[in-house]
Amino acid sequence: MLGKIEEVKKAIEAFQIENQQKLEEFRLAFLAKKGVITDLMAGLKEAAPDQRKAIGQALNDLKNFAWEKFDGIQSTMVSASDSVDAPDMNLPVQSLPLGSRHPLSIVRQQMIEIFEQMGFAMSDGPEIEDDWHNFSALNFPENHPARDMQDTFFVSKDPDVLLRTHTSTVQVRLMEKQKPPIRAIMPGRVYRNEAISARAHCLFHQIEGLYIDRNVGFKDLKQTLYHFVKEMFGPDQKIRFRPSFFPFTEPSAEIDISCLICNGAGCNICKYTGWVEIGGSGMVDTNVLKANGIDPEEFTGFAFGMGIERTTMLRYGIRDLRLFTENDVRFVSQFAGLS
């Protein structure tokens, strides 16, 4: 009997347990109710009485020996599986994906900074306006086509309430509350009743500028916009002033820069002229100064209005205005990291 116990002990020692399944096999073979050790225990009563004590002791040792092996291996297996689930504190942190600013916000900010460096303050006004601020105070004649329903979104008629068609409205609001000298820029959203295409949209953004003081001349307007264009598009950028007409300025000029998309070779953006318009400008009409309580004998001023979409398209070579409003993350994410 003792020889048999020794044999079983050797078998327990030799039993290789590499996984849960082997552990269970071990348990069934040695420790379970139908296992070898229980069998041996049952045989104890057949042993000679003078040997029973020694055999009983050896069986107990054998049982403890088997349990120790089982418990030891089971506990290492549990802690190993625990550590699989537990987070590994040594892993590098996963960085959060950073969003990007909308290109229009980026360029708007760049434009603001250039004018702020030249001493222009910021001002703003409402997007829902009345006839006076959008048209009459800006010297639009009664029958001007811009007052037409075809061009302007009206909220109501009589009295006229409308979505402003340009940021020039803020010039009027500023002159109402501030006496010259005035030197301000006014960025904002504007609305026009236009069919949406690659070149036009029913809502877009402008930056308006107004500078009124004693002895302000056309040369100041030219120098300011010249400086702006060089800062915005680089020192080699060409700018030209083309005579034009606006009800609120006299004389008036459109501001063109050489086309950055085709470098002057001609493309659909510059209508094959090599030049693109970025805004309008001029000397503030004396009628506008008078309508806003400023004496044109004492003060003169210049004004300008530029499209932010147009500037952004030229700055980053974007050929379709609709991309700005389509919320396509593949478009916007190209501007990641710019501010």
Binding site for ligand DAH (CB under 6 A): 166, 168, 208, 246, 249, 279-282, 303-305
Q: Give dist(CA 23, CA 114) in Å, integer.
A: 76
Report in angstroms how near the CB of residue 219 gets to ligand DAH at its nearest: 16
Report in angstroms how near the CB of residue 283 gets to ligand DAH at its nearest: 8
Report in angstroms how near the CB of residue 100 gets to ligand DAH at its nearest: 29
By beta-carbon proximity to ligand DAH, the closer residue of 69 and 166 is: 166
By beta-carbon proximity to ligand DAH, the closer residue of 73 and 210 is: 210
Report in angstroms how near the CB of residue 164 gets to ligand DAH at its nearest: 10
Cα torsion angle, 237, 243, 245, 248, sign: positive
Report in angstroms how near the CB of residue 165 gets to ligand DAH at its nearest: 7
- CA 150, chain centre distance (Å): 35
Q: Give dist(CA 40, CA 55) in Å, integer.
A: 10
CB 161 within 8 A of CB 128: yes
By beta-carbon proximity to ligand DAH, the closer residue of 58 and 253 is: 253
Q: Give dist(CA 39, CA 80) in Å, integer.
A: 33
By beta-carbon proximity to ligand DAH, the closer residue of 62 and 312 is: 312
DSSP string, 145-193: GGGSTTTS-EEETTTTEEE-SSTHHHHHHHHHH-PSPEEEEEEEEEE--
By beta-carbon proximity to ligand DAH, the closer residue of 55 and 229 is: 229
